[in-house]
C-alpha cells in the first residue's frame, strides 16, 4: 500500500463516521419522536468528538506527511493532489477548533431544533430565545477558534463557502439590489390578480406525494439510490452517492410548496448521485470543516443545482406546457378552470411575501440579504437575541414592504439558527447567481438544449452537468468550476439578465 493509499483508507473511515452522523441527523428530522432530542444530542456529541479526534490525531499527521512526500512533484490538478491539499488545509484548521466546542454544538442541536419546532408551532419566540442565545454564543466561540481578520462572519462562512467574506457579500448584495429593486417596482406596478385562484381548493396529500415522486424521477433522481420523505423544513442529505435522502412538506391549500421543494431537493440529490463512484468515501466527498459527508464543491455550488432545477427548469413555461397534464390528471376538479399558461403564471407571480421558501425568484434574494445582515449584526453584538423579532420586522418593511403579523412567519420561520448553522444563508444567493451562469454556459455548449428541454428530454443537460460539475465532487472550488465552464468567476449579471428577460415577458414590461 502506498503512503497516499494509506491516507485514503484512513479518510474513508473518517468519512464513514460522518455518514453515521448524517444518518442520525436524517432520522432526527424525519422519524425521531420529540422526546428523543436530549439523548440524540448526546449521541451526536459523542460521535462528533470521536470523528474529530480521529481526524486531528497524530496518525493523520503522519499519514499526511508521508503522502505529501510521496506526491512531491505530482500533477497539481490531479484528484489525488487536490485531495491531499484539501486534507492538509482542513487538518490545520480543525486543530484550532477544540473538540469540546464541537461536542457542545452537536449536543445542543437536537434540543434546539426541537425547541424551535415547538416554538414555531406555538408562535412563542420567548420559548426558543434561550436556545438561540446559546447557539449564538457557541458560534462566536467557533469564529474565534477558526480565526478571522475583519469580521466573525468571515470565519463561519468558510464552513460553507470557502473564500467568501462579509465584505465581498456586501458588494454582491449591492449589485443585486441595483437590479432587483427597480425590476420589482415595475412588476408590482403592472401586477393584476389572476382570473382563477388556484390555491383556493384542497389538494389531497396522497396525490401531491405521488406527483412529487413523479417530477423528481422525471428530471433524473434515481429512487433505487434515494428516497423521498417528509420534514418540517425540507432538506437533502446523503450517505454516499448510492444512498441519497430528500424531503419535502405538504400543504393541502398550497400545491407549489410540495412540488417545488421536491424539485429543489431533487436538484441537490442529482449532484450527489452523479459524483464519480471512485470519489465515494474520499477526501473529495468530505466536508472536513463542517464535519459532514458532502460531495459538492461548496454549499453555494450545491444550491446552484437545486435552484436551477427548481426554478430555471421547474418554473419554466416549457416545463409546464409539457407536464401540466400530470397535475390535471391527479387534480381534475381543482384545476378544471386552469391551463398550462395560467399555472405557469401562478407559480411565477411576483408578490412580496413573508416566507422565504415560498418567495418568487425576484424577491427571494431580498430574504437572504435580510437574514445575512441580521447574522452579521448578531455576531458583532450590534443586535441582541432579544431584539431579533423587532429587527426582523423592520428589515421586512425595508426590503419587502411587509410586517410579519407574528414570529412564526417572522424570526421563527427558518430552521438554520436552531441547528447552529450561522453564515449559511448566503449560499442560497450564491447558488442563484451560479445557476444562471451555469445554465447560460450549458446553452452555449449544447446547441440542441432548448429543443431538448422543450421536448422534456433532461438527459443531455444532466449528462453535461455531470461531466462539467457533478462528477468532480469537492475537487474544484466554486470559482474554479465557473471559470472552467464560463470563463469568469461568480458574476451577478447573468442572473439579473435572466430575471429581466423572464419577468419582462411574463408581465409585458416592454
Distance CA 232, CA 317 (A): 29
Torsion sign (Cα): 68, 70, 72, 76: negative
pLDDT score of 293: 55
Distance CA 310, CA 266 (A): 9
Q: How many residues in total does the chain contain?
A: 510
Distance CA 417, CA 346 (A): 31
List phi, psi (to 5°) of 110: -60, -40
Distance CA 143, CA 97 (A): 9
Residue 82 vs residues 2, 282, 477, 487, 490: alpha-carbon distances, Å:
17, 11, 11, 21, 21
List phi, psi (to 5°) of 292: -135, 155
On average, the pLDDT of the chain sits at 95
148-186 residues labelled b (16+ CB within 10 A) or e (exposed): beebbbbbbbbbbbbebbbeebeebbebbeebbeebbeb
* Residue 468: HSE in the Cβ half-sphere, 13 Å Cα cutoff: 22
Torsion sign (Cα): 461, 466, 470, 475: negative
Cα R_g (the chain), whole angstroms:
23
164 and 482 Cβ atoms separated by less than 8 Å? no
Place of cell 442529505: 237
Distance CA 374, CA 234 (A): 23
- When the candidates are 1.10.579.10, 1.10.1370.30, 3.40.50.1980, 3.40.190.80, the CATH number that belongs to 166-506 is 1.10.1370.30
Q: Which residues contact 299 (CB under 8 A, 6 or more apart)?
A: 160, 161, 424, 427, 430, 431
3-state percent breakdown (helix, strand, coil) of the chain, nearest 5: 65, 5, 30
326 and 504 Cβ atoms separated by less than 8 Å? no
Using alpha carbons only, give the angle 203, 205, 210 rounded to the nearest 5 degrees.
105
Helical (H) or strand (E) element with 246: strand 244-248
Hey, where are the domains in the chain? 3-159, 166-506
pLDDT score of 291: 57
Cell numbers found for residue 210:
405521488
In the CATH hierarchy, which top-level class contains the domain 3-159? mainly alpha
427 and 160 Cβ atoms separated by less than 8 Å? yes
What does the DSSP 8-state code read for residue 309? I
Residue 225 vs residues 222, 235, 470: alpha-carbon distances, Å:
6, 17, 16
pLDDT score of 292: 56
244-248 and 236-238: which strand pairing?
A: antiparallel
315 and 44 Cβ atoms separated by less than 8 Å? no
pLDDT, tens digit (0-9, with 9 covering 90-100), for 183-193: 999 999 999 99
Residue 33, classified by CB atoms within 10 Å of its CB into exposed (0-12), middle (13-18) or buried (19+), is exposed
pLDDT score of 232: 86
Distance CA 494, CA 435 (A): 9
pLDDT score of 233: 83
pLDDT, tens digit (0-9, with 9 covering 90-100), for 366-414: 999 999 999 999 999 999 999 999 999 999 999 999 999 999 999 999 9
Instruction: Name the stretches of the chain with pLDDT < 50.
Output: none
Cell numbers found for residue 318:
416549457
Catalytic residues: 265
Amino acid at each position: 500500500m502506498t503512503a497516499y493509499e494509506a491516507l485514503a483508507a484512513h479518510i474513508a473511515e473518517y468519512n464513514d463516521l460522518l455518514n453515521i452522523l448524517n444518518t442520525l441527523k436524517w432520522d432526527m428530522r424525519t422519524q425521531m419522536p420529540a422526546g428523543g432530542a436530549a439523548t440524540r444530542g448526546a449521541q451526536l456529541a459523542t460521535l462528533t468528538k470521536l470523528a474529530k479526534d480521529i481526524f486531528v490525531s497524530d496518525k493523520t499527521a503522519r499519514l499526511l506527511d508521508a503522502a505529501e512526500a510521496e506526491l512531491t512533484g505530482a500533477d497539481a490538478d490531479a484528484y489525488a493532489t487536490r485531495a491531499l491539499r484539501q486534507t492538509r488545509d482542513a487538518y490545520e484548521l480543525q486543530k484550532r477548533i477544540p473538540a469540546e466546542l464541537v461536542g457542545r454544538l452537536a449536543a445542543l442541536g437536537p434540543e434546539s431544533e426541537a425547541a424551535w419546532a415547538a416554538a414555531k408551532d406555538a408562535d412563542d419566540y420567548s420559548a426558543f430565545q434561550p436556545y438561540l442565545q446559546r447557539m449564538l454564543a457557541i458560534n462566536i466561540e467557533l469564529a474565534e477558534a477558526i480565526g478571522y481578520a475583519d469580521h466573525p462572519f468571515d470565519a463561519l462562512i468558510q464552513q460553507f463557502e470557502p473564500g467568501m467574506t462579509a465584505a465581498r457579500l456586501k458588494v454582491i448584495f449591492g449589485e443585486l439590489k441595483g437590479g432587483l429593486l427597480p425590476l420589482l417596482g415595475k412588476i408590482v406596478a403592472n401586477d393584476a390578480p389572476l382570473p382563477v385562484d388556484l390555491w383556493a381548493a384542497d389538494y389531497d396529500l396522497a396525490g401531491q406525494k405521488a406527483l412529487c415522486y413523479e417530477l423528481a424521477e422525471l428530471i433524473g433522481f434515481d429512487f433505487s439510490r434515494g428516497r423521498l420523505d417528509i420534514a418540517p423544513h425540507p432538506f437533502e442529505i446523503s450517505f454516499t452517492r448510492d444512498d441519497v435522502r430528500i424531503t419535502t412538506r405538504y400543504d393541502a391549500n398550497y400545491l407549489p410548496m410540495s412540488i417545488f421543494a421536491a424539485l429543489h431537493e431533487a436538484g441537490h440529490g442529482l449532484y450527489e448521485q452523479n459524483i464519480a463512484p471512485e470519489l465515494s468515501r474520499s477526501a473529495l466527498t468530505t466536508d472536513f470543516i463542517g464535519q459532514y459527508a458532502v460531495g459538492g464543491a461548496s454549499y453555494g455550488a450545491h444550491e446552484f443545482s437545486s435552484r436551477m432545477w427548481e426554478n430555471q427548469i421547474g418554473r419554466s413555461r416549457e416545463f409546464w406546457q409539457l407536464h401540466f397534464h400530470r397535475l390535471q390528471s391527479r387534480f381534475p376538479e381543482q384545476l378544471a378552470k386552469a391551463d398550462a399558461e395560467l399555472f405557469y403564471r401562478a407559480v411565477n407571480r411576483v408578490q412580496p411575501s413573508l416566507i422565504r421558501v415560498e418567495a418568487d425568484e425576484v424577491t427571494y434574494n431580498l430574504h437572504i440579504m435580510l437574514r445575512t445582515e441580521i447574522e452579521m449584526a448578531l455576531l458583532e453584538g450590534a443586535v441582541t437575541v432579544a431584539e431579533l423579532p423587532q429587527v426582523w420586522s423592520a428589515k421586512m418593511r425595508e426590503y419587502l414592504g411587509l410586517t410579519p403579523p407574528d414570529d412564526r412567519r417572522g424570526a421563527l420561520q427558518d430552521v438554520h439558527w436552531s441547528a447552529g448553522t450561522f453564515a449559511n444563508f448566503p449560499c442560497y444567493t450564491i447558488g442563484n447567481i451560479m445557476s444562471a451562469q451555469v445554465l447560460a454556459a450549458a446553452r452555449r455548449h449544447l446547441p440542441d438544449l432548448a429543443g431538448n428541454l422543450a421536448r422534456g428530454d433532461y438527459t443531455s443537460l444532466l449528462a453535461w452537468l455531470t461531466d462539467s460539475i457533478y462528477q468532480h465532487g469537492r475537487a474544484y472550488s466554486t470559482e474554479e468550476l465557473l471559470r472552467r465552464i464560463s470563463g469568469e468567476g461568480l458574476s451577478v449579471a447573468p442572473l439579473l439578465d435572466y430575471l429581466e428577460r423572464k419577468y419582462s415577458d411574463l408581465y409585458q414590461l416592454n
